[in-house]
Amino acid sequence: MRVRTGRDPSSGGKRLTARVAAGGVSPLARVVAYGAGRRAGTAPVRLFLVLGRHRRLFTGWLHFAGRLMPGGILPRRETELVILRVAHLCGSAYEVAHHTRLGRAAGLGEADLRRVADGPSADGWTARERALLGAVDALHAEQDLDEAAWAELSRHLNERERIELCLLAGHYEMLATVIRTLRIEPDPPRRRPARAAAASLVRARWAARGRGRGPARRPPAG
């Protein structure tokens, strides 16, 4: 499945220019962006720094989004599977990268992360997970679930969970469109402070020097 990376095939693969600058947002948006980046191990989350430029809308959207993730009633593992499946179907490199990190934290293993790109037909899913992912695929393709798909989903999810699934999948379809249209690039990994990086390099060098010479010596402190 093709994942859009912020490059335009019609212009020879040139990187697309962001249409809305990231920054100039409220203190709330800054706190959310930095906090989300810290949890994900990235720089401040650009999505929040872009959407936060519409301050009034951002506050309402953030409350709604938080009710779905992480505050929904679906288990976090299943929520991340749904979001990642939507991201793959929409070709959203941003959401694939961001929710791969969050998915690992929610308990998804490397096998889960690989096969979610293949969808509900892949081996290894539970019956409930297969029903969830099958519903996501149908919602993406048809914007609807036929009676057979609804009946299968109903065997595994209660009424409130089914409502939440529809809203969750639809919300991340919307976000994929917004991210692509506004040309929001994936968040880079968070850079380690220079002092911490230097200390790590010193430890690695001392460990390398100690190999083959008996017990490894401890590097100097500080």
Bond into 189 cis (ω within 30): no
Residue-level pLDDT at 190: 85
Distance, CA of 71 to chain centre:
16
| Residue 102 contacts residue 82 (beta carbons within 8 Å) | no
| Res 4: pLDDT | 45
Q: Which two tokens mark 171?
A: 């919300």
Mean pLDDT by 10 residues, the chain (222 residues): 46 72 95 94 95 96 96 97 98 95 95 97 97 98 97 97 98 97 92 56 59 48 44
Cβ neighbours of 31 (radius 10 Å)? 13
Three-state SS annotation for the chain? CCCECCEEHHHCCEECCCCCCCCCCCHHHHHHHHHHHHHHCECCCHHHHHHCCCHHHHHHHHHHHHHHCCCCCCCHHHHHHHHHHHHHHHCEHHHHHHHHHHHHHCCCCHHHHHHCCCCCCCCCCCHHHHHHHHHHHHHHHHCCCCHHHHHHHHCCCCHHHHHHHHHHHHHHHHHHHHHHHHCCCCCCECCCCHHHHHHHHHHHHHHHHHCCCCCCCCCCCC
| Amino acid in position 186 | P
What's the token pair of residue 88? 């793959």
